[in-house]
């Protein structure tokens, strides 16, 4: 749009320039005709005054400015072969031809300039169209290179940049869709695998209860207990998967408020103290110094409780899990460490993946707690890292950043 306006202004300017030139040429030509006519009239008047000194000057003036031509004058001129169609002053005829020539020349020159500018403009536009066509063809072939060194401020380059942005956005969207489909496929496969085992076990035990009439009451109670445990596992798995799906689709509305870290730690300890007591693990909460963090307390407790549970499950009797925190201008850091068995270097990069189980995982674990914790923390504008040494323990470091 900016360059189109520039071309319009240029055309108008050229038109004005040549119009001014045409007016100047016409004025000069008219002045020449006027001067030559005046010289002839002045010579006639001088001759009349010289030959007829008694002639009345007023009469001469009236003759020069009168509108009526006399028949006598016409007949006199005709005797010398001059008709009313001829130029009475020969010099004026030459001047009129020059005026016509210059006027035609100016018009032709103006037209030539207009045509030249138009041809140059259309040639450039054609090159831009060809360049854009070739660029779109390269994009269709999967070549997404943006030629920055060839970029200018013209409309073609601006359009190419916008096409590039749109193309990159569509490509990222397409790649994300493909990635989401692959992820969904993998998730469905993992879910099927996780549910298949407790479902199969439950079905076998139910069949035994139905078909074995001689089963003792003790064995029936054991079967029913195992069935209830399998159903609890399935229920936990389904609830966890639903929560993860809601987190992935941003369907969970978080309510952020300033919460005291000490209160969050206390809530997490209440959530995990039974498991810690059964395992004989001691949970130690260090002094928090009144540090507060902006978060959704319910979901933050859910994330930290999952991490604490994981630490308890991998810590032997009389071991300990320590909760501490630090604060600075950039982030609030929460550290959860244990004195457990540690995580091998092979397993360490994968522990936040869904359904991933380390070589020393608890038998009833399904590998979803840490993944859920990571998703919740990231929704709180945070990050989580882990360090571990085999035989010495594991440390989870959570950073909740204070910028939006």
User: Which CATH number does the domain housing residue 364 bear?
Assistant: 3.30.565.10
pLDDT of residue 386: 94
User: How far apart, in whole angstroms, are the C-alpha atoms of residue 4 and residue 128?
Assistant: 14
Residues 269 and 395 in one domain: yes
CA-angle at 171, arms to 168 and 173, nearest 5°: 110
Whether residue 145 lies inside any domain: the answer is no
Residues 12, 107 share a domain? yes
Task: Give CA angle at 45 (43, 51), nearest 5°.
Answer: 100
Distance, in Å, from the CA atom of 338 to the CA atom of 392, rounded to the nearest integer, reads 8
In a domain, residue 397? The reply is yes
Same structural domain for residues 373 and 243?
A: no
Q: How far is it, in rounded angstroms, from Cα 44 to Cα 360? A: 130
Q: 218 and 278: one domain?
A: no
Q: Distance between CA atoms of 80 and 225, rounded to whole angstroms?
A: 144
Question: Are the C-beta atoms of residues 230 and 198 closer than 8 Å to each other?
Answer: yes
Residues constituting the chain: 404
pLDDT at 401: 92
Indicate the pairing of strand 320-327 with strand 331-338.
Answer: antiparallel
Q: Which domain range does residue 223 map to?
A: 157-248
Rounded to whole angstroms, the Cα distance separating 70 from 66 reads 10
User: What span, in angstroms and rounded, lies between the C-alpha atoms of 309 and 238?
Assistant: 19
pLDDT of residue 19: 72
Q: Where does a domain end: 248, 272, 298?
A: 248
Ordered per-residue pLDDT tens for the chain, 404 residues: 555 566 667 677 777 777 777 677 777 777 776 677 667 766 776 776 677 677 666 666 666 565 555 555 555 555 655 555 555 555 665 666 676 677 777 777 777 777 787 788 778 778 877 877 777 777 777 666 655 445 556 666 677 777 777 777 777 777 777 776 776 676 667 667 667 777 888 888 888 888 888 888 888 888 888 888 888 877 877 777 777 777 777 778 889 999 999 999 999 999 899 989 989 999 999 988 889 999 999 999 999 999 999 999 889 888 999 999 999 989 999 999 999 999 888 888 888 887 777 766 655 556 778 888 999 999 999 999 999 999 899 999 999 998 65
- Alpha-carbon span 319 to 106, nearest angstrom: 102
In a domain, 54, yes or no: yes
Phi-psi region of 381 (alpha: psi -120 to 50; beta: other; left: phi over 0): left
pLDDT of residue 50: 74
Do 244 and 261 belong to one domain?
no
Q: Identify whether residues 354 and 231 lie together within a single domain.
A: no
Domain C-terminal end among 248, 271, 289: 248
Query: Do residues 187 and 115 share a domain?
Result: no
Q: What is the pLDDT of residue 398?
A: 95
With a CB cutoff of 8 Å and minimum separation 6, the contacts of 318 are: 280, 281, 282
Are both 122 and 232 inside the same structural domain?
A: no
Asked if the structure places residue 161 within a domain, the reply is yes
Domain contains 177: yes
Cα 292-298-302 angle, rounded to 5 deg: 100
Show which of 248, 279, 298 is a domain's final residue: 248
Q: In the prediction, which pLDDT does 355 show?
A: 73
User: Number of structural domains, the chain?
Assistant: 3
């Amino acid at each position: 749009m900016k360059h189109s306006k520039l071309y319009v202004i240029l055309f108008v300017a050229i038109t004005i320039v040549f119009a001014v030139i045409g007016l100047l040429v016409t004025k000069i030509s008219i002045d020449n005709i006027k001067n030559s006519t005046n010289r002839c009239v002045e010579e006639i008047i001088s001759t009349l005054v010289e030959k007829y000194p008694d002639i009345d000057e007023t009469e001469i003036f009236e003759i020069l400015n009168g509108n009526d031509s006399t028949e006598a004058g016409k007949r006199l001129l005709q005797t010398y072969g001059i008709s009313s169609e001829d130029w009475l002053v020969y010099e004026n005829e030459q001047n009129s031809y020059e005026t016509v020539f210059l006027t035609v020349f100016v018009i032709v020159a103006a037209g030539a300039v207009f045509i030249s500018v138009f041809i140059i403009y259309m040639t450039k536009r054609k090159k831009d169209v060809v360049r854009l066509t070739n660029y779109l063809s390269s994009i269709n072939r999967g070549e997404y290179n943006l030629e920055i060194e060839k970029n200018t401020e013209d409309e073609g380059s601006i359009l190419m940049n916008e096409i590039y942005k749109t193309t990159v956005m569509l490509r990222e969207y397409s790649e994300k869709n493909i990635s989401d489909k692959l992820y969904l496929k993998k998730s469905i496969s993992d879910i099927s695998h996780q549910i298949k085992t407790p479902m199969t076990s439950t079905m076998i035990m139910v069949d035994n209860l139905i078909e074995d009439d001689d089963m003792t009451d003790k064995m029936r109670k054991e079967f029913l207990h195992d069935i209830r445990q399998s159903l609890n596992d399935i229920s936990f798995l389904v609830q966890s998967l639903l929560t993860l799906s809601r987190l992935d689709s941003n369907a969970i509305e978080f309510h952020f408020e300033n919460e005291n870290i000490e209160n969050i730690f206390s809530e997490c300890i209440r959530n995990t103290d039974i498991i810690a007591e059964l395992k004989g693990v001691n949970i130690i909460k260090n002094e928090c110094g009144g540090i507060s963090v902006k978060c959704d307390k319910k979901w933050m407790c859910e994330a930290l409780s999952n991490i604490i549970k994981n630490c308890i499950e991998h810590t032997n009797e009389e071991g300990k899990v320590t909760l501490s925190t630090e604060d600075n201008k950039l982030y609030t850091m929460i550290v959860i460490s244990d004195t457990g068995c540690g995580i091998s270097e092979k397993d360490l990069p994968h522990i936040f993946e869904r359904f991933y189980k380390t070589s020393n995982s608890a038998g009833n674990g399904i590998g979803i707690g840490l993944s859920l914790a990571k998703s919740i923390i990231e929704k709180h504008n945070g990050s989580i890292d882990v360090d571990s040494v085999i035989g010495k323990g594991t440390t989870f470091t959570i950073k909740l950043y204070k910028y939006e």
